[in-house]
Structure 1
């Protein structure tokens, strides 16, 4: 399993364990991809997953640049055009640091990580 898939699987399991319903994974548009779309408590969360072996070169969330945020916003708008009643949209980041090859040392869910 590649690291991207591992990170998304860990994040989806974490979100589900915390009461989220996963409604889509790897939603692709011409603007980019949304790793996970999940719903909870009237919100639809567009989740970017970032996994790193360690924080030596910065925290995983720091890789969600302004340019990446703009692509996520456009992709979310495309999804919302088809699902207008999904809930109040927000953008989350799940950052994962690995302890070993496939075991996370930490998973942190940052709700409303940036504004549209």
Structure 2
């Protein structure tokens, strides 16, 4: 499954940056958060988008306003269950490639992707 492979690649990438992976695939009735991680003073809610390439559109373009609202609502629920003094942030990780490819995936982190 492309999504699981991409999420694992993103998880490994972020862990390599020194992030602490707190939880993967947090699900609520409002939606799902692919990954929750700690990056220094931030608790980061991460949406992972995996595509073979960016020929037709960047992966981040698939994180629509409706999807962002669902992630924000799910994050509010997670924060109620797990109180923290960390500042919340919403990032998108684009993963380009394929599990069966001979080359490693190309990964692009977009911090504060929902900032307006």
User: Structure 2-normalised TM-score?
Assistant: 0.92
Change (3 A) 1:86 1:11: farther
Q: Distance in 2 between matches of 1:105 and 1:16?
A: 15
Offset of residue 105 of structure 1: 3.9
Q: Give the 4+ runs in structure 1 shifted more than 3 A.
A: 102-105
- Determine whether 1:97 maps to 2:93: no
Equivalent in the alignment of 2:86: 87
> Where do residues 1-116 of structure 1 align in structure 2 (5 Å cutoff)?
2-85=1-84, 87-98=86-97, 101-102=100-101, 103-115=103-115
Counterpart contact for 1:24–1:37, Cα < 8 Å: yes
Offset of residue 85 of structure 1: 1.1
The answer to which of 97-106 and 63-72 deviates more is 97-106
Q: Distance in 2 between matches of 1:105 and 1:29?
A: 29
Q: Deviations over 1:78-110 (max 9, x none)?
A: 000011215100100000111663544410011
Q: Distance in 2 between matches of 1:73 and 1:15?
A: 21
Instruction: Kindly report the root-mean-square deviation, in angstroms, between the aligned alpha carbons of the 2 structures.
Output: 1.6
* Uncovered stretches (5+) of structure 2, i.e. residues with no partner: none
Counterpart contact for 2:2–2:98, Cα < 8 Å: no
Q: Deviations over 1:24-77 (max 9, x none)?
A: 000000010000000021100000000101112200001000000000000000
Higher strand share: 1
